[in-house]
Structure 1
Amino acid sequence: MDRLRLFIMVGVLFMLPVKLWSQSNPEEENGGKWRPIQVSFFYPLCTNGFEASSCANNLSISFIEGRSRSVNGLALAGCVNTVKADSRGLLVSGILNAVHGTMSGVQLAGLVNIAGTASRGIQLAGLVNVARDFSGLQLAGLVNVAHTVRGVQLAGLINVADSSDFPIGFINLIKNGEMGIAVSYNELGTTMLTFQSGGRYTYGIVGIGYNHYLRGQQPFIAGGGIGARINCTNWLRLSCELTSTNLLPAKASLDRLMVANFSLFPAFRLLPHLELFGGPRLSYASANHDCRNVLPSYSLWRRLGPSRIQQLHLGFQAGVQYII
């Protein structure tokens, strides 16, 4: 009990001079009160008290939660930063940064970033970024969500937007973008069914396949990757893809067969919703001896181990895509 009282007294003494100094600056900014510095444990235990949501700050330091009307500078929070209007500068929090107005600068959060209309800069979150109209870079461990994006969306799993030219993720749900279902065949004897989704220039790839050389073994394969395309004419475009495939189930197949590919091929639009594609690819394959019959006999480089074969070879990929 004595330690708790001592902690509270130290906190009050620490915040008192900042409170008195900030009150000596009655200047108002955008209709709100201006407080250059705010120190907070959590609302309303802070130097701005119950007025925190109506105060503009240049520096906000919060051990748990910090609230401001606007930030023009730096806001640090152990858990949550909440800005009721606009933010210009750097926001860093362990869990959440939420800006209800315009964000201009950088949001760095352990879990979630939220920004309002006409925001620009960088959103970096461990899980999710959310914005309305955003210009810059959205980088999230799982999901990016926005209305209009002028820049790049990079997510570990899904990008969602009404308009985004450069989404980079396995699944990209872009309202004004493109989605398609493709069937392809390659030099390893694998037929793949893939779902491709993205914007005008970049797209994601996820799929499942069957290898006819592995009959009698586990023949099913899962794959994913990213691609980029250059639109040459209404009927021709050039696609570049980085993909990886592995046998299923994944845990049991990591030591059996893994293939990483770099593909470059033209795609020809035969009908409004039908596209034919095909071209060369450079493949790195790692397989145990049970799967050695899948690998082609020719190679650019090969290493034979006691239980594994690794090689680099040139191959091909060809198929057809139905554009949804």
Structure 2
Amino acid sequence: MIPLYYKKQIRYVKNKACLALFLGLAFQANAQESKTVKVNFGLIYPLSTNGTRAPLDTNDLSIHLLAGVSSVERGSAFAGLANIVRNEAKGALLAGFSNHVGKEANGALFAGFLNTYRSAKGPQFAGFANLAQGEVRGAQFSGFLNATGGDMNGVQFAGFANIARNLNGNQFAGFANVAKRISASQFSGFINVAKDVNGSQFAGFINVAKKVKGAQIAGFINIAETSDCPIGIINIIKNGEKSVASTIDESQTAMLTFRSGGKHLYGIIGAGYNFKNEDEVYAFEAGFGAHFFHSQYFRLNLELTQTTLESFKYGEYFKSTLRMLPAVKVAPWLEIFGGPSFNFVTTNTAEGLALHPANEKLVLHTWQSKGSDFRQSLHIGYQAGLQFVF
């Protein structure tokens, strides 16, 4: 039998527990009822529903006719001119002119002119530029410039230039791409610049890098310390090979050429003179080559070149050549080479036709373009030369 005193204590504890449970449920219900969507409508700061407190508020939706200001955006923000978010933005920001995020933009940014932010996760679209102080994960699209002060993990597309510190992705620019370290590729209309490239560079004019593990392909020149597969007319590779060669071919065209490249591929550019024609005829050549079966004293060079002859007064002469040139190294700095070539010639002059091999058996086929005075021919020739390597 329980004494009366203990019965009162037990009843007191039960009453306290029930009261605590009731208060907890009431508080929870009240908190659920107070969880409302924070919306900010306005014309321009401070003419909005948040008034002068707008820079301190966190919004789920912001709509401003001209410009809006907030501390944090947890949803979407729309402005005719500009969205200004002092801290984070989680969602989509759309502005007719610019978006400005003080910290991280986690979502999508759309601006008619400019997006600025500290860091970003998601795509950014701007008519002129995307400017980030730190790391970006996602894609950047701009009509002129994308620039990140930190690492870029994604893809950059710009009408003019892309700039990043370390890039894990690709860069596409109408004019220039610049990065320190790249783990993918750069594509530009004019120039690519990087320090270390674990991928490839493609440029309309010039590629510049320090170490390249991949291909460098440029319309004119590649520059690097190490690059085994440069494809350009001129390739200045520190650990590569450069040479000056004197050559003669079946049409008695003598050339002085500069060959430059890496371990496997190289470029060719040269100028010369044709001694078979009675008139003064100058020659110009450009192309690409590759080394095969490389040993200490022998290698096979395969070359594809385009040659033009000038000073036919009213005519043209173009020759595309594929040649195989076995080469013997007689000294570390001297190489002798020579071999057959397959030539496709287009000309509209009698002087050009006279440069065909004298032996008709070497002329495989000739024909004339319909409605044109240009004649084409396919013939077998040769080239031989002496090359000074440095």
- Structure 2 residue 245 is matched with structure 1 residue 182: yes
| Contiguous gaps of at least 5 residues in structure 1 | 26-31
2:55 is aligned to none
1:206 and 2:269 aligned: yes
Call closer, same or farther: CA 1:76–1:253 in 2, change over 3 Å: farther
Structure 1 residues 182 and 20 mapped into 2: Cα distance closer, same or farther (>3 Å)? same
Deviation at 1:105, TM superposition (A): 1.2
- TM-score (normalizing by structure 1): 0.85
Matched, 1:78 2:143: yes
- Kindly indicate whether residue 141 of structure 2 is the aligned counterpart of residue 106 of structure 1: no
The CA distance in 1 between the partners of 2:324 and 2:85, in whole Å, is 63
Residue 121 of structure 1: CA displacement?
A: 0.9
Which residue number corresponds to residue 286 of structure 1? Answer: 346
The residue type paired with residue 323 of structure 1 is V
Q: Specify the alignment match of 1:95 in structure 2.
A: 160
Tell me if the contact between 1:240 and 1:265 (Cα under 8 Å) persists in the aligned partners: yes
Contact 2:366 2:376 in 1 (8 A): yes
Q: Is the 1:289–1:307 Cα contact (8 Å) retained in structure 2?
A: no
Deviations along 1:178-217, one digit per CA (max 9) or x if unpaired, are 10000111111111110000011000000001111112x2
Look up the SS of the partner of 1:213 in the other structure: coil
SS at match of 1:163: coil
Equivalent residue number for residue 223 of structure 2: 160
Q: Does 1:256 align with 2:316?
A: yes
| Identity value in percent | 32
Superposition deviation, residue 39 in structure 1: 3.2
Structure 2 counterpart of 1:220: 282
CA distance in 2, matches of 1:246, 1:23: 60
Q: Is 1:303 aligned to residue 367 of structure 2?
A: yes
CA apart distance, 1:18: 9.8
Residue identity opposite 2:309 in structure 1: L
Query: Taking CA–CA contacts closer than 8 Å with sequence separation of 6 or more, which of the two structures ends up with the larger relative contact order?
Result: 1
In the TM superposition, residue 301 of structure 1 has moved relative to its aligned partner by 1.0
Would you say 1:230 and 2:311 are equivalent positions? no
Cα distance change, pair 258–166 in 1 and its aligned pair in 2 (3 A): same
* Structure 1 residue 22: Cα displacement: 5.0
Deviation per residue, 1:156-183 (Å, 9 max, x gap): 0110001100000000011111100001
> CA, structure 1 residues 24+198, in 2 after alignment: closer, same or farther (shift >3 Å)?
closer
Please give the residue correspondences for 1:56-75 in structure 2 after superposition, counting only pairs within 5 Å.
56-68=120-132, 69-75=134-140
**TM-score for both structures, normalised by structure 2:** 0.71
- Show the 5 A alignment for 1:113-124: 113-117=177-181, 119-124=182-187
How many residues of Structure 1 are paired with residues of Structure 2 in the alignment?
A: 300
Return the letter of the residue paired with 1:35.
N
The equivalent position to 1:245 in structure 2, one of 307, 311, 319, is 307
Superposed CA deviations along residues 219-256 of structure 1, whole A, max 9, x for unmatched, are: 1101100011124311111111000110236xx77942
Equivalent residue number for residue 104 of structure 2: 33
Is contact 1:38-1:61 (8 Å) kept? Answer: yes
Query: What is the rounded CA distance, in whole Å, between the counterparts of 1:39 and 1:18 in structure 2?
Result: 13
**Superposed CA offset, 1:56-90 (max 9, x none):** 33211111111122221211011100011111211
Matched, 1:143 2:206: yes
2:379 to 293, 313, 317: 313
Consecutive unaligned residues of structure 2, counting only runs of 5 or more, are: 1-43, 45-63, 69-76, 92-102
Tell me which amino acid in the other structure corresponds to 1:315: G
Quick check: 2:89–2:104 contact (8 Å CA) kept in 1?
no
Give the 3 Å change call, closer, same or farther, for CA 308–59 of structure 1 in structure 2: closer
Structure 2 distance, partners of 1:24, 1:145, is: 38
Give the Cα–Cα distance (whole angstroms) in 1 for the partners of residues 294 and 201 of structure 2.
Answer: 28
- Note the alpha carbon deviations across 1:26-76, whole angstroms, 9 max, x for none: xxxxxx735333334555xx4x5xxx1x22332111111111222212110
1: CA distance between counterparts of 2:141 and 2:67? Answer: 18
